[in-house]
Amino acid sequence: MWESTIACGLACRHCKASARRERDPRELTTEESCAFIDQIAGFRRPYPVLRITGGNALRRDDIFDIIRYAKDAGLKVTVAPSTTPLLNRKNIEKLKRAGCDIVAMSIDGATPEQHDAFRGVKGTFHRLVRATRIMQELRLPFRLLTTVTTHNVRELPEIMFLSKRLGAIGWYLYMLIPTGRASEELSLSPEEYEDVFHFIYDAMRLPLLAVNAIAGSEPYRRVAVMRYLAEREMLDRSALKQGELYSLLSRKLSRLAREARVEEAEVVEVSYSSKDSSIFGKGIFVAHTGEIYPSSFMPVTLGNVREDSLEEVYTGSEVLKAMHDASRLRGRCGICEFNDICRGSRSRAYAVTGDYLAEDPYCAYSPGSVELPPVDKEAILNQLRITNFSRRVG
């Protein structure tokens, strides 16, 4: 992930970048940006995916040239622009011509009122809808991203089906990480997050669109394994701890699926993605100043692309190695029988405690609280077709 700029015309309540209206003069120049892309290509094939974020990437006059440079280097490029007036037909056509593979846009409400209140600017929802229509016309694939907060959690099924109607190829869910402008008051309780993970498992079983759980969703993998075992009577269903929020989301999801005549699939067909997760250090984040961080939600400096080799930082960082080593995790995460497939959100642990090796403060699970049969958890995840992200790069 590359934070190309922090300039943005929105005032989102959860912005991790604390974006502002004007560009920062310390941003990577065009030449430095291309040199950074050369470093990414230095990882050799299969290349990591370059996801260009912000702020609003469209605030950079050179962004289309940078995208083309990355494409010429052989990279796959995703761009996540803000839904401001700059996301107009002219610029969407430029994204297409530059070779952008996928556009990622945020949707944080099922209605204009709900979405705009979270984004801080009236009319943002309608701009999003117009942009999706143009992209469909141009056959430019796009995903929609939702940050799960107290503001919208009860409308997640409606947002999911709206995303499908708008033509998205995927719907990505981020659990709020309290950093930047995001306050803890927008976070769910640990029990509510658990309910959301159960909802995600159900949503993934609908052959509707690709559903992915991203930042802050690491415990989802534990929930998926537990659901699998419970469905096969290898685990008592009482161990699942499904609460009122899950009951509400489940009822809504079932109703909307019936109305759309969508039937549940036999297996979870879509992948868990950790491109933005810091859990195993398999993704990496470069800020607008060139600073290298484990993730966009963890401002722990690993180096700077202006001075350091990105590949050397990625392969040699002691911080990344520590997060990869379950024996170094503290608290519940250090003793959890699921830490071989989960290990909790390192970004959330850092945001709340200042210690990226601390236990995930928003995980509801108590280690040893279930009688786990002797099973291969990774094999279960593979059978559910949930990608083993501990072996992924990108």
Q: Region 208-212: what's the mean pLDDT?
A: 84
Is residue 267's pLDDT more than 90?
no
Do 273 and 212 form a contact (C-beta atoms < 8 A)?
A: yes
Is residue 370's pLDDT more than 50?
yes
Mean pLDDT over the full length of the chain = 87
Range with the lowest mean pLDDT among 10-19, 110-119, 251-260? Answer: 10-19
Collect contacts of 375-382 with beta carbons under 8 A, ≥24 apart: 375/225, 375/229, 375/234, 377/225, 377/338, 377/340, 377/341, 378/340, 378/341, 380/224, 380/225, 380/228, 380/229, 381/221, 381/224, 381/225, 381/272, 381/341
The percent of residues above 70 in pLDDT, for the chain, comes to 88
Residue 8 DSSP label: -
Joined tokens for residue 308: 């350091």
Say which residue, 4 or 266, is predicted with more confidence: 4
pLDDT score at 108: 93
Q: Region 181-190: what's the mean pLDDT?
A: 77
Say which residue, 44 or 267, is predicted with more confidence: 44
Half-sphere exposure (CA, 13 Å, Cβ side) for 243? 12
Judged by DSSP in three states, 34 sits in: helix
pLDDT score at 183: 62
pLDDT score at 178: 77
pLDDT score at 283: 81
Burial string for 74-101 (b: 16+ CB within 10 Å, else e) reads ebbbbbbbbbbebbeeebbebbeebbbb
The percent of residues above 90 in pLDDT, for the chain, comes to 68
Is residue 280's pLDDT more than 80?
no
How confident is residue 8, by pLDDT bands cut at 50, 70 and 90?
A: confident
Q: Region 167-175: what's the mean pLDDT?
A: 93
pLDDT score at 180: 58
Is residue 72's pLDDT more than 80?
yes
pLDDT score at 327: 92
How confident is residue 262, by pLDDT bands cut at 50, 70 and 90?
A: confident
pLDDT score at 390: 32
| Of residues 227, 228, 197, the one with CA closest to residue 363 | 197
Q: Region 251-262: what's the mean pLDDT?
A: 91
